[in-house]
Amino acid sequence: MERIVGRDRLVSTTGGGFDLVCRPLGNGHSEYVIRPLVTWHVEGELSDQAYADYLAEREATAEERREANLERAALRAKQRVRHLCKAAGVDTLLTLTYRENMTDWATLKRHVKEFNRRMARVIPGWFYVAAFERQKRGAWHVHMAVHRIPRTIDHACGVKVKSYSVIRAVWHSVVGDLGGNVDLQAGIRMRAPSRIASYLSKYMVKAFAEGDAWSNRFSSSKNITVPKPVRLRFVGYSFADVVGLVFDELGDYACTQLTWKLTKRGVLPDEAGCWFILDTNIPSRSDRYVRDIEGSTDL
């Protein structure tokens, strides 16, 4: 791989160790990324003709580079949404829709802001991460990851009201004559924050595919801090050595709770990269088997 900085031609070499990025996100979540060390050195300076050719090539590929930059931005947004969901420990997915074909972006953003302002008054500590999507007919709807929704909410008149009824009433009060509905999923299938994060973050890449700016396709509460990653460098270590260190850090987990994947495979084993994602909120297969036996009426 090479880069041009000014008129200098820089060439990279891979090997000699690995970088390890550890991100403990809390709520039973941890992420680890292993990357081979990359070293850059100046190979030489471009001649006048070579530099002119380089500038001409950049101009010819400007649109291609713009697309690549947008795709990288969408992937960063996807990562941000995932980290917010995990750090907050979200456990519920809301989908807010309109009855009318509401296609105005400014109206959508105003409604979402007001909905969350009112919900924060109803449920203290209200947190959300919202992704926005267009339906086939063009109408906007909102996918929202939230947490800490009680089964019932105390009404001012002294009675308890189902939380779903309150949320639906709040959304109706915000959208007014446009009408709408609320779908709430808080079952076992979606309860793990990583699963909600995966569902929500896919809309960042979809927004890129549709040509929208990723920054306009999600928003979140400001009352959560995503822990900063810990970056470590292991010079002279093999790939197997660093993977072993990661497993030493992972502690006890079930096989269903750990996801991993090789991200790069070069000619040599030590040119490989890898990531690990641990979510201890996901039950093991044996846990599910025990629950099934205990809940059986045939015993």
At 220, the amino acid letter reads: S
Determine what percent of the chain is predicted with pLDDT higher than 70: 87
Check residue 216 and report its DSSP letter: G
Residue 15 confidence class, pLDDT cut points 50, 70, 90: confident
Q: How far is CA 238 from CA 16, 31, 162, 225, 264, in A?
A: 8, 20, 56, 34, 15
Go through the domains of the chain in sequence order and give each one's CATH number.
2-85+225-288 (no CATH), 86-220 (3.30.70.1910)
Residues 6 or more apart whose CB falls under 8 angstroms from that of 66 comprise none
Stated as kind and residue range, the H or E segment containing 74 is: helix 62-88
Residue 191 confidence class, pLDDT cut points 50, 70, 90: low
Q: In the predicted model, is pLDDT for residue 49 greater than 80?
A: yes
* Mean pLDDT to the nearest integer, 154-180: 88
**Which residue in 59, 140, 64 sits closest to 107, CA to CA?**
140
Pairing of β 273-279 and β 29-45: antiparallel
Instruction: Sort residue 127 into left (φ over 0), alpha (ψ -120 to 50) or beta.
Output: beta
At 289, the amino acid letter reads: Y
pTM here?
0.81
More confident residue, 67 or 235: 235
Q: In the predicted model, is pLDDT for residue 281 greater than 90?
A: no
Model pLDDT for residues 16-45, shown as the tens digit of each residue: 899 999 999 988 899 999 999 988 889 999
More confident residue, 193 or 242: 242
- E-assigned strands of 99-164? 128-134, 140-146, 152-154, 160-162
Contact 179, 100 (CB under 8 A): yes
Length of the chain: 299
Nearest-angstrom CA–CA distance, 273 and 276: 11
State the virtual CA torsion across 90, 156, 222, 128 in degrees, nearest 10: 30
Residue 296's pLDDT is what? 34
Model pLDDT for residues 213-223, shown as the tens digit of each residue: 655 678 898 87
Helix ranges (DSSP H) in 100-159: 105-122
Q: Which tokens sit at 183?
A: 């779908």
Residue 224's pLDDT is what? 84
Nearest-angstrom CA–CA distance, 119 and 142: 15
Surface-to-core class of residue 111, CB atoms within 10 Å of its CB (0-12 exposed, 13-18 middle, 19+ buried): buried
Residue 289's pLDDT is what? 38
**Which residue in 225, 257, 260 sits closest to 80, CA to CA?**
225
* Mean pLDDT to the nearest integer, 255-267: 76
Check residue 6 and report its DSSP letter: T
Query: Of the given ranges (80-84, 88-92, 270-274), which has the lowest mean pLDDT?
Result: 270-274
Surface-to-core class of residue 221, CB atoms within 10 Å of its CB (0-12 exposed, 13-18 middle, 19+ buried): middle
Nearest-angstrom CA–CA distance, 272 and 255: 22
State the virtual CA torsion across 93, 99, 101, 102 in degrees, nearest 10: -60
Residues 6 or more apart whose CB falls under 8 angstroms from that of 237 comprise 17, 18
